[in-house]
Amino acid sequence: MNPRSCPHEAEVALAVRSGTWDEGTSTHTASCDRCREVALVTGWMIRAGCASDGVPSRLPDPRQIYHTARDAAALKKYEAALRPLAIAELVLRGALVLALALGMLWAWIALRPLGAAVHLSMPQPLGIAFSALIPCLLALLSARLTRPLLE
């Protein structure tokens, strides 16, 4: 939505409505972005305003078109502002998953001798349960963190 306008907009809109283009208007429309947009919008409005039987129907409310365009521009700005935060979130989640994977590897390496040191004549159920619980909890936490990445 550009607040500036071109002095030839009315001529371009009239040429689109009438279907007759003179040489000056067509060359200006080819070189002016604003007038090219006016030609496209005017053509769309003409197509939207006619029913299939050729009887003119009610054109869309210009205020509604303006508000829709304004909302779309605001949404685009909002998404552009949030893009760095979304990238930072993905990087942070990836780093957390990597840290959890390294933690699971460390826990497996560190707790493996504990399982080997357990005497069968005198089992240590709490130590065995703890050594099995840590990798399971780390796996659950990593699955919980990676779920938003996969969606």
Tokens 């303006």: give the residue.
66
DSSP one-letter code for 8:
T
Structure confidence at residue 77 (pLDDT): 95
Q: What are phi and psi of 50, to 5 degrees?
A: -115, 135
| Distinct helix (H) and strand (E) counts, the chain | 5, 0
Answer whether residue 81 shows pLDDT above 60.
Answer: yes
Q: Is pLDDT of 67 > 50?
A: yes
How far, in Å, CA of 8 to CA of 64, rounded?
25
Exposed, middle or buried by CB within 10 Å (0-12, 13-18, 19+), for 9?
A: middle
Provide, rounded to the nearest whole percent, the portion of the chain with pLDDT above 90.
12
Out of 7-21, 33-47, 81-95, 128-142, pick the least confident.
128-142
Nearest to 147 by CA among 102, 97, 99, 107: 97
Q: For position 141, what pLDDT does the model report?
A: 78
Burial 36-48 (b: 16+ CB within 10 A, else e): eebbeebeebeee
